[in-house]
Amino acid sequence: MTVRARPLSPHLGYYRPRLGSVTSILHRITGAILAVGLLAFAYWLIALASDAAAYATAQSLFASPLGLIVLIGWTFAFFYHLLNGVRHLIWDSGRGFEPGARRLGGWTAIGGSILLSLGFWASLRLLGRL
């Protein structure tokens, strides 16, 4: 008799990704991104409190193409984590557990964070801050 090796628990590749699992994983990832982003924010604040050369270095770093990509990603992480956190607060009140409401809330968190991020950076562009 051949004994087939089985995993101890289902692997991520076993299940098809669903909106609920994707939003949950994305919420955790964006939380980690925000935590790391606080280090970058602290660096910027320290440079601001230091001399003009340190501030100029920080500004040039954040204004570089890679720096802007990181800032845009951090902005998306902020808005997604915020909107999905509001979704969880609604769940804490005992509402929004119906399948249609869960799907709508998930897509609202994803789409809303994209729109808010685009709007934020477009407004910076229009105000001449970029």
pLDDT for 9-36, tens place per residue?
666 667 788 899 899 999 999 999 999 9
Side chain identity at 38, as an amino acid letter? L
pLDDT at position 9 is 66
Rounded to an integer, what distance in angstroms lies between the CA atom of residue 105 and that of residue 115? 15
**What values do phi and psi take at 120, rounded to 5?**
-60, -50
What mean pLDDT is predicted for residues 48-60?
96
Give the separation between CA 129 and CA 126, rounded to whole angstroms.
8
How confident is residue 123, by pLDDT bands cut at 50, 70 and 90? Answer: very high
Whole-prediction pTM: 0.85
Q: Is the CATH number 4.10.520.10 carried by domain 19-126?
A: no
The pLDDT of residue 10 is: 65
Q: With cut-offs at 50, 70 and 90, classify the pLDDT of residue 129.
A: confident
For residue 30, give the 3-state DSSP assignment. Answer: helix
pLDDT for the residue 11: 67
Say how far apart CA 29 and CA 31 lie, in whole Å. 5
Give me the DSSP letters along 35-102.
HHHHHHHHHHHHHHHS-HHHHHHHHHHHHSHHHHHHHHHHHHHHHHHHHHHHHHHHHHTT---SHHHH
CB 29 within 8 A of CB 37: no
How high does pLDDT run on average in the chain? 92
